[in-house]
A and B are shown apart, each in its own frame.
Chain A
Amino acid sequence: MTKFFFPDLGETMFDGPTTLEPILAEHPFLKGMKKEHLALITGCASNVKWDAGTYLFREGQGADQFYIVRQGTIAIEAFSPAHGPLVLQTVGEGDILGWAWLVPPYRWHFDGHATDLVRAIAFDGKCLRTKCEKDHELGYELLKRFSEIMSQRLDVTRMQLLDLYDDMPTKGIRRK
């Protein structure tokens, strides 16, 4: 999906669900959702903010939320004892962040670290999980969209794995 650009927020926009609905309806991620489903989802949404340098989530913590980033950059990190936090990928404005809320055991797999001031729309995953169990059509709509996100993330991660710029993708592998 193409990049979605949020209208300029300013400092004073701490809106409730009613103001969020029109914005979310236009976001490509939620486009095509039935009105009742959109209302359901928006009902679980709220604005959130993190200061630079704070954590959105930590590895192992219960994952009960996902986010649409409105502003700022989040570094997805793995912590290594000898080397400290290693950045795997950065996620920014317009990106969707988090699907661990959908997949058992519903725990974050990595750390999410705010590189700068982050504003996002947070969705109550716990609440949505329950709603999806009751309304399978809602569940399917959400799963369709999240599987596309996961697929894209997997593709770019695989490319990162190839370590292409080093131009030695088979380094250390004995070739016959």
Chain B
Amino acid sequence: MSAVASSPDPMFPRPYRVHRVTKETSDTFTLELLPEAGHAGFAFAAGQFNMLYVCGIGEVPISISGDPGVPQALVHTTRAVGAVTKGMEELKKGDSIGIRGPFGTNWPVAEAEGNDVVFVAGGIGLAPLRPALYQVLASRERFGRVVLLYGARTPEDILYRKQLKEWRADLGLEVHVSVDRATRDWRGNVGVVTTLIPRVPFDPYNTVAMVCGPEVMIRYTVMELERRGVAQENIHVSLERNMKCGIGFCGHCQHGPNFVCKDGPVFPFSRVRDLMNQREV
């Protein structure tokens, strides 16, 4: 399920201009980028990632979190945790960032047509899932129930709040959010996102599930989904490993025999089940 890279040369970053940097939560921000000098747009498939280069600091892999149907803007939501992402957070409108990509496999949105779709996102894991949400909602009538189960640390860490509300109101996206900790100001669910799985009605035998978040959360989410009766071939997960080149040459991203950069990052769970039960793979 690999989309062919639209980049002419995957070795060299192409400059993109920062259009906007938006702070989402205390440690998360969104970059909106426009291509330099008259390029049409950035074609990608939901689930793919780019290598983002800040000249003078370094390069990191970040999932694309924008709308695949709107290639004119390239959007990345990320946490500011290291030198490169912290440097990115300081960028201003008009600054440049280097892009190599898109790389990797995509969420099986087209293959999910005709089914219920359940997205399960943990924390920043909502960002790589958002393009799939855009894509499903753009052809809403082709899918059954569309459900988003989203776990965040606190109510302040909820991403894309406004957009989720709009989608819930206008497009029949069922959104269930649960936070790990809250005060009484939060009137919604408190508890890990897996507690939402038994509570939400969907037909497990006709459901495609797409899961993204910390690996521990993915394991327990899959356990709950399987307990509901969803088959492992219909559960797709997005994994992460150390990446240097992004195109299968440096060897860093190997997870067992799989290269997360080119055999993933999106995998059917059946392909990674045994690996995820092993330590230090």
Contact = CB atoms under 8 A, between A and B. Distances in A.
Are A and B associated in one complex?
yes
Interface stretch (A12-20, A85-93, A125-133, A134-142): A85-93
B188 interface: yes
Given A2-B198, A156-B191, A87 B181 contact: yes
B66 to A, nearest CB: 22
B145 to A, nearest CB: 15
A89 B194 contact: no
Contacts of A113: 184
A74 B184 CA distance: 11
Interface stretch (B54-62, B87-95, B151-159): B151-159
Contacts of A3: 198-201
Interface stretch (A33-41, A43-51, A98-106, A160-168): A160-168
Interface of chain A: mostly helix, strand, loop or mixed: mixed
Q: What size tier do the contact residues of chain B reach?
A: 35 or more
Nearest to A168: B81
A159 B190 CA distance: 12
Contacts of A73: 189
Interface residues of A, number: 31
A165 B157 contact: yes
Given A77-B184, A90-B191, A160-B192, A166 B199 contact: no
Interface of B: 79, 81, 122-124, 151-153, 157, 178, 180-184, 186-192, 194-195, 198-201, 213-214, 216-217, 220, 227-228
Interface of A: 1-3, 5, 73, 75, 77, 83-90, 92-94, 113, 115-116, 155-156, 159-160, 162-167
